[in-house]
Amino acid sequence: MSFLPVISIIALLAMLPVLISLRASMVEGGTDFAVACAVASAATLFLMLAEWPALQLLFPVGVVSLAGACLFVLSGFHRALDVSRRMSTLLVVAAAMAVFAVLLAAFGANDLTLHALSATGIVAAFLLNIAVCSQHRRRAPGPVERLVVIALAAVGCSALLAVTMLSPAAHDAYALPLEPMTWDIACAAMRYFYLPALFLGVILMIQNRVITDLKSAIARDELTGVLSRRALLDLGQRTLNTSFARQRPASFLLLDLDYFKQINDRYGHAVGDAALGHFAGTVATCLGGRGTIGRIGGEEFGIVLPNHSEDSAFALAEEIGRTVRDTPIGRSDRPIRLTVSIGLAEAVAGDTISDVMIRADMALYDAKAEGRDRCTIAGRFQPDASTRVLAAAAAQMRAADTRIPEPQLLRETG
């Protein structure tokens, strides 16, 4: 009896608790993979015991269990990849097995066929692990990518079953007319290490997806879907560093939705939340990839604009203002019209993102003081401690400003 099945069983049992702990993650198919790993462990045990002459009757049990584990693997990939069109796993397996049947019919059940099957399975396993480990790089894999992953899994599982059926245990049990086989590294790797390597790739795929989902949840504002404050500041600082290194301009826009408190007071917080989401979506559409928007807090949003000088950023700010005015929220017969005040600051050498934001914040306060629904450009001074205090006070005054009555732009029009 070889020690390789023991190593395979230990590897599978070591991965089983990890798969069980990950089955409750956001990735579908975790339960299928956990069951497949458990069944594969039992199948490998049966096949190992079947190498003893007295226990050869366990060989069919091991093969059936191995086939069940392969079906659970394919079902797990089907769920994990969220294949919209129902794809019969049995048909995929049957097609792969048909290919190997043709191979057997052409070359016979000999060492060459066995080694060809092993090589095919190893190549499929290698490509499959690359495919599953790179799934997190794309948010929505295309149908062709999903089909390739499932096809690779089917080819590998079918090769594993074929190699197992051609093993010496099968020969001793069923007296197949096989020539004596020389078990080289490829055959042993296919029989005993294909499934452990496959489940390792599955674990990495699930972990990568969980980490990606967590990063996305942290980086996005839950209400509006735009970047969170921290993510926007990190992006802004990286943009400034890149712009300074390449001697390219960069600007920052600070946007404040006008009279937002009146919207909440008159229409309710549910409408206020809808207004924030509508506003963020409108601005993001208007940007069209020219910049990145994030929510600073409340009704304040920031936009990082790489490769934008003061003049080009001002032109874009004016375009945003017009788009917001022309895109009301609500029913067409009773719209709620929105306006936005914008503070603009261009980055200068030595600035941090906080410096640029402070200047944009002071410009935004001027835009509010001058009547709202406009963009004001900040001066290029370097903010000191007193300026930072004034910026914080300006933000508090904007938040507490309730003296101005409901504007004409917010009145329902029939």
How far is residue 313's CA from residue 318's CA, in Å, rounded to a whole number?
9
Query: Are 306 and 402 in the same domain?
Result: yes
Q: Considering the domain boundaries, does residue 223 fall inside one? A: no
How far is residue 115's CA from residue 183's CA, in Å, rounded to a whole number?
9
| Average pLDDT of the residues in 274-285 | 93
- Phi and psi at residue 205, to the nearest 5°: -60, -45
| Average pLDDT of the residues in 239-246 | 92
| Average pLDDT of the residues in 214-235 | 85
| Average pLDDT of the residues in 63-78 | 84
Q: For the sheet containing 292-297, what is the strand order?
A: 292-297, 300-306, 250-257, 340-346, 375-377
Q: Considering the domain boundaries, does residue 251 fall inside one? A: yes
Position with higher pLDDT, 397 vs 45: 45
Query: Are 278 and 357 in the same domain?
Result: yes
Number of domains in the chain: 2
How far is residue 292's CA from residue 225's CA, in Å, rounded to a whole number?
12
pLDDT of residue 21: 80
Q: Considering the domain boundaries, does residue 22 fall inside one? A: yes
Query: Are 202 and 321 in the same domain?
Result: no
Query: Are 335 and 403 in the same domain?
Result: yes
Q: What is the dihedral of CA 9, 190, 180, 111, to 10 degrees?
A: 170
pLDDT > 50? residue 85: no
Compute the chain's Rg from CA coordinates: 31
Query: Are 213 and 244 in the same domain?
Result: no
- What contacts 187, CB < 8 A, 6 or more positions away? 114, 115, 118, 163, 181
In tens, the pLDDT along 137-147 reads 545 556 677 77
Least confident of 116-130, 179-193, 293-307: 179-193
- Classify 128 as helix, strand or coil: helix
Q: Which domain holds residue 325?
A: 229-410
Tell me which residue has tokens 């802004």.
236
- What contacts 249, CB < 8 A, 6 or more positions away? 243, 307, 308, 309, 310, 312, 346, 347
pLDDT of residue 146: 73
| Average pLDDT of the residues in 270-274 | 89
How far is residue 207's CA from residue 31's CA, in Å, rounded to a whole number?
14
Candidates 124, 128, 142; CA nearest to 82 is: 142
pLDDT of residue 379: 74
Candidates 276, 280, 254, 225; CA nearest to 398 is: 254
Query: Are 183 and 300 in the same domain?
Result: no
